[in-house]
A = this chain, B = another copy of it.
Amino acid sequence: MTGTRGVDTAQLMEQLSVSLAAYYGDFTVAAASENLTASQGKTLNVLRRGPAAMRVLASILTCDASNMTGIVDRLEKRGLVQREPSPTDRRVKNVVLTAEGERVIDVIRGKMHTTRAGLDRLSDQERDTLHDLLERAFTAQPAAA
């Protein structure tokens, strides 16, 4: 009765897609309540970790660099982010959250009730385990050398 249920990779990927759709839907609704599109919300969410060059944002969000120009334009027009010239490379523009941008993304994260409620169904130890498994599966370096 221990671990021999036999979930194959296809079933796990299916569960992943369902889970991520739930998370993504929750996030999209929360972002919309602050009058932001999903892409704008995702951009703010990435910037929570700190300033990032346009190129880096595009890479994380898996889109063309030219696409980021428009998204950041609109966020900047609303005063949620700001473009700052890189001190080391004058081609680069670092995008930074403003205080208002920080407030908005925190509000959005706070409104993700469905996700929060789901995670609350797990014990402390189970949350640790989930964090660890996701980290190892998705955040690991492919190869060092």
Contacts and interface: CB of A to CB of B under 8 A. Distances in A.
Contact of A7 (B5, B15, B112, B127): B127
A25 interface: yes
A21 interface: yes
Query: Main SS of chain A's interface residues?
Result: helix
B13 A115 contact: yes
Q: Which range holds the interface residue count of chain A?
A: 35 or more
B124 A3 contact: yes
A136 to B, nearest CB: 6
A133 B136 contact: no
10 contacts: A6-B128, A12-B127, A13-B112, A13-B116, A18-B139, A19-B137, A20-B23, A21-B60, A22-B138, A118-B140
